[in-house]
Amino acid sequence: MKLTPPTIKDIADRANVSISTVSRALNNKSVVRQDTRTAVLEAAKLLGYEVNVFARGLAGGQSMTIGVVSREIGCTLYDTVMQGVIRGFAGTGYSPIFIEGQSGEDFGGEMIQKLISRRVDGIMTLGGDDTFPENLLNHLPEELPAIVIGKSVKGWEKRCVVTDNFGASYQATQLLIENGHRDIAIIRGDMHIQDAISRYDGYCKALEDANLKVLPDLIQNGDFLAHSGLMGIHALLARGKPFTAVVCGNDQMAIGAKLALQRRGIRVPEDVSLIGFDDEPLSAYVSPPLTTLRQSGVEMGRIAAKGLIDLISAGSCELPLLACELVERESVAKLRST
């Protein structure tokens, strides 16, 4: 069995102090009491922790490198985010290092240790489920600036670059209502992920504001993959509750939903209107082209890069909540009179 190197969290647990106290003690900060410093150093020695790794990085000055840890390499949206990160650091002297992440708490500590050993000046986390950035941040030394992209982490809200998923989903549902639809179904994304929860909440709020009920028979769970959109339509139709429009958690699910409708002889948008989320490149080329909400991955990456530079240089940053753009194509139509 592979043994993972000890982390500052391990030292904190052993010495019965906080992670920030361990970080200050290892970096010889004067605010730490001598007996606490001694306890931390003894715990570090017993665990075999390389006490001077991060200190050597500080002593040697900035490395001008940034560690970017992503769970979504190969995902269209996050690939564009990485393009934005590269553009955001262009001309600044900083060079991003991209690393593909893994799941699990052990990975978080191991990855932070590797990045510290490379003397990175800051860290970005990108994508993954809601636990992924937390597993990394839990092992982060206090002195190392970090930005979270695409997730809102409790306690780190001011260091997160996120899209207004609630507002975008509200806008999508409102568009359908304005086109006369009242029986509007939703195929949700993975409800363990905050993006899916916020998009569902926006759908519910738009219905509520239009004095329409949120009907359990028109709510179907998915997982952000195309197959769940296809299966979601089968499940909705099997319940026998009529619907004239469907909001999907993302474009992949919408494309799967469209295929299922087509196979049942249900036309889009003549019989059922359909709307997605993300504006993936393929969405403009399906038949009919998909109405969707566009997230600017490039802009997310640029803002994150600027924010991290501000954190490194000034100790603070301002990160706006990013709006989505409604892209109206041909998959939404006015409800026909019966």
- Domain holding 46, by residue range, is 8-51
Residue 338 lies in a domain: no
**In which residue are the tokens 């001077």 written?**
52
Residue 1 lies in a domain: no
Residue 126 lies in a domain: yes
Residues 20 and 122 in one domain: no
Residue 57 lies in a domain: no
Residue 331 lies in a domain: no
Residues 252 and 278 in one domain: yes
Report pTM.
0.78
Residues 186 and 84 in one domain: no
Residue 256 lies in a domain: yes
Residue 58 lies in a domain: no
CATH number at residue 89: 3.40.50.2300
pLDDT in tens, the chain (338 residues): 445 678 788 888 999 988 878 877 776 555 678 888 888 888 888 888 764 444 444 444 578 899 998 876 667 888 899 999 999 999 899 999 988 776 555 566 777 788 888 889 999 998 777 777 887 888 788 788 999 999 888 888 899 999 999 999 999 999 999 999 999 999 999 998 889 999 999 999 999 999 999 999 999 999 999 999 999 999 999 999 999 999 999 999 999 999 999 999 999 999 999 999 999 999 999 999 999 999 999 999 999 999 999 999 888 999 999 999 999 999 999 998 76
Q: How many domains does the chain contain in total?
A: 3
Residues 135 and 151 in one domain: yes
User: Reduced to 3 states, what is the DSSP secondary structure of residue 29?
Assistant: coil
Residues 72 and 87 in one domain: yes
Sequential DSSP letters for 119-183: T-SEEEEE-S-THHHHHHHTT--TTS-EEEES---TT-GGGEE-B-HHHHHHHHHHHHHHTT--S
